[in-house]
Amino acid sequence: MKPHSYWHDSAAAFAGAQAEVPEGKADVVVVGGGFTGLSAALALAQRGASVVLLEAGKIAGAQSGRNGGHVNNGLSHDFASLAGRFGLAPARVLYHAFDAAVDSVERIVTEHQIDCDFRRSGKIKLAAKPAHYDSMARGFDLLHREADPDTALLSRADVPSEIGSAQFHGALVYRKSAQMHMGRFAKGLAEAAVNAGVRIHENAEVTAMRRLSGSAYRLTTAGGNIEAQQVLLATGVSAKAPWYFRRRIIPIGSFLLATAPLSADQAASIMPTRRTATTTRNVGNYFRLTPDNRLIFGGRARFALSSPSSDLKSGAVLQAQLRAMFPQIADIPIDYCWGGVIDLTADRLPRAGEQDGLFYALGFNGHGAQMSVHLGQQMAVVMSGNPQANPFRDLDWPAVPGHFGPPWFMPMVGIYYKLKDRFS
């Protein structure tokens, strides 16, 4: 079993980073070489800006290359609850931003001919308890009528046509959702950015940022200093991010396994429609099949951050969950085990905008594969002078009470959600 991401291991490495140290001046410096940063850098360069991208490690080395391979529409929230909080029209805007995010990924894949197995497979959200299905059913009419007519409600009797497991009591199908190979997409996106004129620097950690005037900043790396008229923070959560962001984003681990390739019959027995899948538990699972019939199976597993030892412990939890869900493949070997970090916001909605002259797009709450790409594109429009392009511009973003960086409270949150899953 390899203790690293299947997406990294099964894609060629990006080889287009600059050999020179980052120094001088640029119209825009993008901090972070995941999907947000690469997408924004590409869009900004296509608009004529001189763009430098600084990545502390390797391109897509963090969460962009360490996720489940889903490109899903739909929110973390029940649409009816969202409409109750914001009103129907604003809830539609938020919901449709996730539709647009899948469209953005597909457009970039098509425009730049990125070979990443992109496929509009649809997503199935599986009710882990009868009460979860009842909640789905109560909100379905509003969702289907007001936000997404491409959804379908499935009864328990319908589930075997989608998932070969006896654990589920019904489901919602979202037909706009997709999937792709994250490592190959990252490489293609980075190459597209370089072809557009972006200078990408790997192993170029930003150690300091000093505001000069307006939105201009001087950024310091180990190799040198660079000045920019605008800076986009696209790092996800980071211990070195400005204090404002560390108080508002909660990092939490998410862990994954990749099985050895299944036979065609085994693959058909567990996921005949080959959609992406999520479950309704708070400490639930998400999974999908790859084109070569590996099952990518992930979940929260443990309320801990990713590290080599934590990934293996969480992998053991996931193996037990996989075997319980799909006993027909209980003996299949596990080829990969890895972890990543999800950036949570308190209300589980992304945030993007400008703070102290610093532009940002952060807090994707497990929907980053598509929303990071989309918000990178939209923030390029915002930075070009159109703030209306940001679909989350009107959301308040208060600090999380008692949160000052490391999530000291996560073990207690974990206990709460596990109890909630057990008794509700």
144 secondary structure, DSSP code: H
Confidence bin at 307 (pLDDT 50/70/90) = confident
Residue 73's pLDDT is what?
A: 96
Q: Which of 108, 100, 33 is nearest to 72 (CA)?
A: 100
Distance CA 53, CA 35 (A): 12
Query: Do 293 and 266 form a contact (C-beta atoms < 8 A)?
Result: yes
Residue 416's pLDDT is what?
A: 59
The dihedrals phi and psi of 37, each to the nearest 5 degrees, come to -65, -45
Return mean pLDDT, the chain: 94
In the predicted model, is pLDDT for residue 423 greater than 80?
A: no
Distance CA 416, CA 402 (A): 17
Distance CA 96, CA 73 (A): 8
Q: Which of 39, 17, 22 is nearest to 375 (CA)?
A: 39
Residue type, 3: P
The dihedrals phi and psi of 14, each to the nearest 5 degrees, come to -70, 130
Confidence bin at 312 (pLDDT 50/70/90) = confident
Query: Do 387 and 215 form a contact (C-beta atoms < 8 A)?
Result: no
Question: What tokens appear for 241 in the block?
Answer: 């991010």
Q: Which residues pair with 29 in a beta bridge?
A: 52, 231
Distance CA 8, CA 15 (A): 14
In the predicted model, is pLDDT for residue 90 greater than 70?
A: yes
The dihedrals phi and psi of 348, each to the nearest 5 degrees, come to 60, 35
Distance CA 95, CA 178 (A): 16
Confidence bin at 368 (pLDDT 50/70/90) = confident
Q: Is 0.85 surpassed by the pTM of this model?
A: yes
- Residue matched to tokens 């197995």: 117
Distance CA 255, CA 124 (A): 20
Per DSSP, the residues of 275-311 read: -EEEESSTT-EEEEE-TT--EEEEE--SSS---HHHH
Q: CB count, 10 Å around CB of 420?
A: 12
Mean pLDDT of 262-276: 98
Residue 305's pLDDT is what?
A: 75
Residue 34's pLDDT is what?
A: 96
Residue 171's pLDDT is what?
A: 98
Q: Which of 31, 25, 41 is nearest to 209 (CA)?
A: 31
Residue 258's pLDDT is what?
A: 98
Cα three-residue angle 165-166-172, rounded to 5 degrees: 75
Query: Do 259 and 56 form a contact (C-beta atoms < 8 A)?
Result: no
Confidence bin at 124 (pLDDT 50/70/90) = very high
Q: Which of 31, 45, 108, 38 is nearest to 71 (CA)?
A: 108
The dihedrals phi and psi of 209, each to the nearest 5 degrees, come to -135, 130
Distance CA 160, CA 269 (A): 9
Confidence bin at 46 (pLDDT 50/70/90) = very high
22 secondary structure, DSSP code: P
Distance CA 153, CA 127 (A): 11
What is the torsion angle, in degrees rounded to the nearest 10, for the CA atoms of residue 8, residue 75, residue 101 and residue 162?
Answer: 70
Distance CA 143, CA 135 (A): 12
Residue 414's pLDDT is what?
A: 67
